[in-house]
Amino acid sequence: MNLSITNDPLAAVAAVTGDITHAVSAEFQSSLLAALKVSRGLVLDCTGIGMFTSSGLRSLLLLHREATGSGKPFVLASVPSAVRDVMEVTGFWDQFLALPTVAEALVALSTPTL
């Protein structure tokens, strides 16, 4: 797994590539929590995710809870069908804001309704 985090005035944008499994979930989670802590929100670009296991889902749920608790938006962007399938089967898909692109996620963050 590789994670690249850039800062936009509206949010940190994290692009992940590779598999999100038990072997990398702690690093994935801690890196994204740190980015969320120092930003106005977090956009996770999921384009490059390959395998996505329950450990990855657990990390996303924790990030969602932390973002919600701190009043910051957390948006998924470019979610591959394999990731969406895991989230839908487990019943968690509807808890997340997911948009087709990072650009659309940043536009959504610029509106006062989030």
pLDDT digits (tens, 9 = 90+) for 14-40: 999 999 999 999 999 999 999 999 999
Nearest-5° Cα angle at 52, 46 to 54? 125
pLDDT digits (tens, 9 = 90+) for 46-66: 999 999 999 999 999 999 999
- Domain 2-109 class, CATH top level: alpha beta
In the chain, domain spans: 2-109
- What DSSP character marks residue 112? T
pTM: 0.95
C-alpha to C-alpha distance for 42 and 87, rounded to whole angstroms: 19
